[in-house]
Amino acid sequence: MKKNIFILVLLLAGNLQAGFLHRSTLLGGSNDDVNWEIALDSSNNVYIAGYTASNDYPIVSGFQTVFTGWDGAFSKFNSDLSGLIYSTYLGGNGYDDFIGISVDVNENCYLSGGTFSADFPIVSGSWDTSYNGNGDAFISKLDATGSSLIYSTYLGSGEHEYSRGSSNDANGYLYLVGPTASVYFPTTAGAVSNVYGGGTFDIFATKLDQNGTGLVYSTFIGGTDYDHTW
């Protein structure tokens, strides 16, 4: 049985009465569509991110209109879910998945997750423009119109890693956490730990600069066994 994304808003915009069902809707194409994350901006527009296996996923004025495989899917609804402001694929020929969203005051969106695509959309000059293999984390900053990438970068080291969540601050820095299976994951001098703890996964915590070109800090967090973050 195929899966569609199911979105509901439980709070009426401007009304803090919990449990009030304001709107709900389905979104998807003819194959599986899954949403992992939801965010709101200051105007209560609704952002959802996940993945899709549908070549007919609803696309509106998005950066990437062509389905290339198992792609990340990102959509922005107006506040009452009555219309899509934009909707886009983002991915390459491998498996791509959005797991984190954050939105800044200018309605630029920061998307993070995992990719197995050596041709994932990357912006020249970003921190890491080459796929490292076996599944990389990625971070992509999409402009307020959903039509252009401000930056987009891999974050990895040749073993499996992906971002489980992200948050931006008022100055445009981005904070990421997730699991990594690599002793060579990029860390920075003076970080809490530059040494992989062991086991199947360690947690990483990374701060990316405003331009997506450098790491402000990056560290392992973990012990000798399995460490993960949700």
- Average pLDDT, stretch 30-56? 91
Q: According to the model, what pLDDT value does residue 12 have?
A: 39
Q: According to the model, what pLDDT value does residue 36 have?
A: 86
- Average pLDDT, stretch 96-120? 95
- Answer yes or no: is pLDDT of 228 > 60: no
- Average pLDDT, stretch 131-158? 96
- Answer yes or no: is pLDDT of 104 > 90: yes
* pLDDT tens figures, 167-178: 999 999 999 999
Q: What is the DSSP string of 139-185?
A: EEEE-TTSS-EEEEEEE--SS-B---EEEE-TTS-EEEEEEE--TT-
Residue 55 CA: distances (Å) to CA of 18, 70, 121: 37, 9, 18
Local confidence band at 164 (pLDDT 50, 70, 90 cut-offs):
confident
- Answer yes or no: is pLDDT of 38 > 80: yes
- Answer yes or no: is pLDDT of 8 > 50: no
Which segments of 182-223 are extended strands (E)? 202-208, 215-221
Q: According to the model, what pLDDT value does residue 10 have?
A: 42
The answer for residues whose C-beta is within 8 angstroms of residue 105's C-beta and 6 or more apart is 42, 170
